[in-house]
């Protein structure tokens, strides 16, 4: 047994987190920054933060992740990191020449109280930011919230680049939340099918799913451009996908620049996608194209074709709030039973939402925000499940408890595909369903006695 020291009996822990279901803010900010075209993320802290975030994102995407660090030493930690930051800005523009430097803080620079907007002003005064180049920043203290919070804060900083001209651009801002590059590509496909002109931000498609061609581009073609970000203040409205990841930015644009917003769930699974598509249809004032109807019908078809293998299956879920809410709804919509749901990210609304979604499911649900995977594992030991869905760390639980397992979430360090194949939208729903059915039926084929082993399923 890999997790051999995890007891079935659950004791209350107040101080010790074991096997976290979250990580820290800066990595979320770094991921979001990579969705700006020509952007170099910069970590204002000691070197390790940046090295860890780059390593984790690299392992997840199998793509180069460039980011700078202020390389704090003990001296900088005592006297403040301003000198390091100014030097970094100068070096970055001289050596790497990005369009944008997106700086995020760390627990180190937050604890000593470095003021990034003030440092940026000083850099401007000293002429360290070349004409036409940009420096944006987000405060991302690792001791509050989670990686999701950091993502959200950087997305908000992107929204703050808005410079309304007073002339509407006829576009809709779409804030996709922390989804994969493939998902962002799929969202763009869906919106263009419906005929809605959009500004999608952040947009990591074309950045973190690049080709191998013998050429290395530190700043690939993809990403939301600065011009687009400036234009978000002229948009007709904003669709924010996910309360945790995207709502802050959307509400800021609403309050500051009167760009109205709706916060929707992330479009994973049938119902959440329905709501997303319906919102787009209403905004555009068009009928839904046949192609999308066809895709929706295919998803409904597969659910109905394979319902017997899904019905009543108990599922353990771990991940981030926005994703888990949509996934829980998807599973319930197929008559499956997500009975253990854990996120490490704080947020009281999360538990409430999951309880609402599972109210009529007919079995009791364990749900926890600010939980950890140790607790999830204990719940599973006490009340077994048929399937576990979560990031790569779930493989230890899955192996010990001999559970069918679908990798979904962040980080996925041991399988590929998430950067290429979307799980949002109807097509994404089909892919999720294919994966879920794949592991459930592989298990059935493995465990059925010979006399019950079947050719046709």
Partner 1 sequence: MATTTKKKLVQWEPADIKTELLEKYPPKVARKRAKQIMINEALQKETPSLTANVRTIPGIITMRGCTYAGCKGVIMGPTRDIVNITHGPIGCGFYSWLTRRNQTEAGPDGENYMPYCFSTDMQEQDIIFGGEKKLAAAIQEAYDLYHPKSIAVFATCPVGLIGDDIHTVTANMKEKLGDCNVYAFSCEGYKGVSQSAGHHIANNQVFRHIVGENDTEKPGKYKINLLGEYNIGGDGFEIDRIFKKCGITCISTFSGNSTYDQFASAHTADLNAVMCHRSINYVADMMETRYGIPWIKVNFIGARSTARSLRKIAEYFGEQELIDQVEEVITEEMPEVEAALAVITPRTEGKTAMMFVGGSRAHHYQDLFAELGMKTISAGYEFAHQDDYEGRQVLPNIKLDADSRNIEEIEVEPDETRFKPRKSDKEMKALEKAGYRFKEYDGLAPDMDKGTLIIDDLNQYEAEKLVELMKPDIFCAGIKEKYSIQKLGVPMKQLHSYDSGGPYAGFQGAINFYREIDRLVNSRVWGYMKAPWQENPQLSASYNWE
Region 64-83 residues binding partner 1, contact defined as CB under 8 A: 64-77
Region 377-406 residues binding partner 1, contact defined as CB under 8 A: 393, 396
Give Cβ neighbours of residue 74 (< 8 Å, ≥ 6 apart).
none
Q: Which is nearer to partner 1, 171 or 377 (CB)?
A: 377
Choices 11-19, 255-263, 424-432, 442-450; region in contact with partner 1 by CB under 8 A: 11-19
DSSP conformation letters of 399-445: HHHT--EEE-SS---S---TTTS--BHHHHHHHHHHHHHHHHHHHHH
In whole angstroms, how close is the CB of 212 to partner 1 at the nearest point? Answer: 6
Q: Which is nearer to partner 1, 320 or 386 (CB)?
A: 320
Q: Which is nearer to partner 1, 111 or 262 (CB)?
A: 111
Give Cβ neighbours of residue 288 (< 8 Å, ≥ 6 apart).
194, 277, 281
Beta bridge partner(s), residue 102:
41, 136
Q: How far is CA 436 from CA 9, 17, 149, 307, in A?
A: 29, 30, 29, 12
143 binds partner 1 (CB under 8 A): yes
DSSP conformation letters of 69-111: E----HHHHHH-SHHHHHHHHHHHHHHT--SEEEEEE-HHHHH
Pick one of 29, 30, 32, 92: the residue that binds partner 1 (CB under 8 A). Answer: 92
285 binds partner 1 (CB under 8 A): no
Pick one of 24, 34, 148, 332: the residue that binds partner 1 (CB under 8 A). Answer: 24
Pick one of 121, 168, 197, 217: the residue that binds partner 1 (CB under 8 A). Answer: 217
Pick one of 118, 121, 218, 352: the residue that binds partner 1 (CB under 8 A). Answer: 218
45 binds partner 1 (CB under 8 A): yes
391-428: burial string, b at 16+ Cβ within 10 Å, e else? bbbbbbbbebbebbbbbbbbbbeeeeebbebbbbbbbb
In whole angstroms, how close is the CB of 395 to partner 1 at the nearest point? Answer: 10
Region 305-324 residues binding partner 1, contact defined as CB under 8 A: none
Q: How far is CA 167 from CA 234, 235, 258, 381, in A?
A: 6, 9, 13, 59
Pick one of 115, 129, 133, 144: the residue that binds partner 1 (CB under 8 A). Answer: 144
Region 187-216 residues binding partner 1, contact defined as CB under 8 A: 210, 212-216
C-alpha span between 329 and 14 (Å, rounded): 30
333 binds partner 1 (CB under 8 A): no
In whole angstroms, how close is the CB of 278 to partner 1 at the nearest point? Answer: 38
7 binds partner 1 (CB under 8 A): yes
Within the chain, what is the greatest distance between any pair of CA atoms?
80
Binding mask 410-449 for partner 1 (x = CB under 8 A): ---x------------------------------------
Choices 54-62, 197-205, 269-277, 439-447; region in contact with partner 1 by CB under 8 A: 54-62
At 324 the three-state DSSP class reads: helix
Q: Which is nearer to partner 1, 89 or 200 (CB)?
A: 89
**Cis peptide bond prior to 42, omega within 30° of 0:** no
């Amino acid at each position: 047994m890999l997790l051999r020291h995890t007891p079935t009996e659950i004791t209350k822990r107040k101080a010790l987190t074991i096997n976290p279901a979250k990580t820290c803010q800066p990595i979320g900010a770094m991921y979001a920054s990579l969705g700006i075209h020509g952007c170099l993320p910069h970590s204002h802290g000691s070197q390790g933060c940046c090295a860890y975030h780059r390593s984790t994102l690299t392992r997840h995407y199998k793509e180069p992740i460039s980011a700078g660090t202020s390389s704090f030493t003990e001296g900088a930690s005592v006297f403040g990191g301003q000198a390091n930051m100014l030097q970094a800005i100068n070096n970055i523009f001289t050596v790497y020449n990005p369009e944008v430097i997106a700086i995020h803080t760390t627990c180190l620079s937050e604890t000593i109280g470095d003021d990034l907007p003030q440092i940026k002003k000083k850099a401007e005064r000293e002429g360290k930011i070349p004409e036409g180049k940009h420096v944006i920043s987000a405060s991302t203290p690792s001791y509050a919230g989670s990686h999701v919070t950091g993502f959200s804060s950087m997305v908000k900083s992107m929204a703050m680049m808005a410079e309304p001209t007073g002339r509407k651009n006829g576009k809709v801002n779409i804030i996709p939340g922390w989804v994969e590059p493939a998902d962002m590509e799929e969202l763009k496909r869906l919106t263009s099918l419906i005929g809605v002109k959009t500004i999608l931000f952040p947009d990591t498609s074309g950045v973190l799913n690049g080709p191998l061609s013998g050429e290395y581009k530190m700043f690939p073609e993809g990403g939301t451009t600065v011009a687009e970000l400036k234009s978000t203040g002229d948009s007709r409205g904003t669709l924010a996908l996910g309360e945790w990841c995207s709502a802050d930015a959307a509400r800021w644009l609403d309050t500051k620049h009167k760009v109205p917003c709706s916060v929707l769930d992330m479009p994973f699974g049938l119902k959440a996608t329905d709501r997303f598509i319906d919102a787009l249809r209403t905004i555009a004032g068009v009928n839904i194209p046949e192609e999308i109807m066809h895709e929706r019908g295919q998803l409904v078809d597969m659910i109905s074709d394979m319902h017997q293998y899904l019905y009543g299956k108990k599922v353990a879920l771990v991940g981030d709030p926005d994703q888990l809410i949509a996934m829980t709804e998807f599973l319930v919509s197929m008559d499956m039973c997500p009975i253990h749901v854990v996120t490490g990210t704080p947020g009281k609304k999360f538990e409430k939402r999951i309880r609402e979604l599972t109210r009529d499911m007919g079995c009791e649900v364990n749900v926890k925000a600010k939980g950890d995977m140790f607790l999830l594992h204990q719940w599973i030991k006490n009340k077994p499940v048929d399937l576990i869905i979560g990031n790569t760390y779930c493989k230890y639980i899955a192996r010990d408890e001999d559970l069918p397992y679908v990798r979904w979430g962040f980080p996925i360090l041991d399988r590929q595909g998430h950067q290429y194949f979307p799980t949002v939208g109807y097509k994404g729903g089909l892919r999720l369903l294919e994966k879920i059915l794949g592991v459930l039926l592989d298990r059935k084929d493995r465990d059925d006695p010979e006399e019950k082993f079947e050719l046709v399923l």
